Amino acid sequence: MSENNPEARAAKEWYGYGRWDAPYWFVGMEPGGTNHPELYTSWEASGGGPMIDAKRHEDEWNARVSHDLQTRYFAENMQVQRGTWQPLIHILSGFTNSAEDPHHYQRDKWGRAGGEIALIELSSIASRDLSVPGDREKYQTSRIDAIRQHLIDDKPQLVVFYGKTYDEQYAAIAGGSFDGDDVCWSGTTLCALTAHPSRPTKSYEFWTDYGRRLRKVVDARTK
């Protein structure tokens, strides 16, 4: 694949949504969905940087694809992303003890350039799941190094790594092994490892409670 191809550039340069210096990070394996070429042309149209605004990306994507492929995750009459985003939002709600409606949080704040969230992917090439072939290891070492350096420099309060298949890569980003409770510390940052929210499917209350338990870990250390 040519290095001038948008997908090739995204594979190397695009890390996710939001901002590096956000206080809360969620780190996954790769974006879900189909590896459609317009995913990457719309990334370029959204600024083409390492971290972009999720709503702007949706707008650019919708302007380029047929109606049946369009999404409404940030529309007024929103489409709820139940498979991954809503469980992660519930983790955040539990951790911050927020009473905000998780659906509204998705629509108004999730993955936004000026928000409190960084949504980061180990690979930026989309796939519906790990059974779909893909070059997941291309640039993996350099991407791990870059994410690790931002973790050190930006010092988020919480990093949740989801998808235990990649526990070794996540430990490299965290800078240490996860303990028996699947947590470790990187300086003042709590790093937590959990199963992918969609495998197996658990209730939103489970994920809210998980966020509360992570808050207790932080509070116990700061007393």
Mutual orientation of helices 6-13 and 37-45 as an angle, nearest 10°?
70
Question: Model pTM greater than 0.75?
Answer: yes
Whether residue 1 is contained in a domain is answered as: no
Sign of the torsion formed by the C-alpha atoms of 166, 55, 99 and 22: positive
Domain that holds residue 77: 6-222
Nearest to 197, CA basis, from 109, 119, 134: 119
**CATH code, 101:** 3.40.470.10
- What is the Cα–Cα distance from 223 to 202, expressed in whole angstroms? 32
- What is the Cα–Cα distance from 194 to 131, expressed in whole angstroms? 20
Number of domains in the chain: 1
Walk along the chain (223 residues) and give the pLDDT tens digit of each residue.
446 789 999 999 999 999 999 999 999 998 877 789 999 999 999 999 999 999 999 999 999 999 999 999 999 999 999 989 999 999 999 999 999 999 999 999 999 999 999 999 999 998 655 554 455 677 899 999 999 999 999 999 999 999 999 999 999 999 999 999 999 999 999 999 999 998 778 999 999 999 999 999 999 998 7
Whether residue 80 is contained in a domain is answered as: yes
Q: Are 61 and 39 in contact (CB under 8 A)?
A: yes
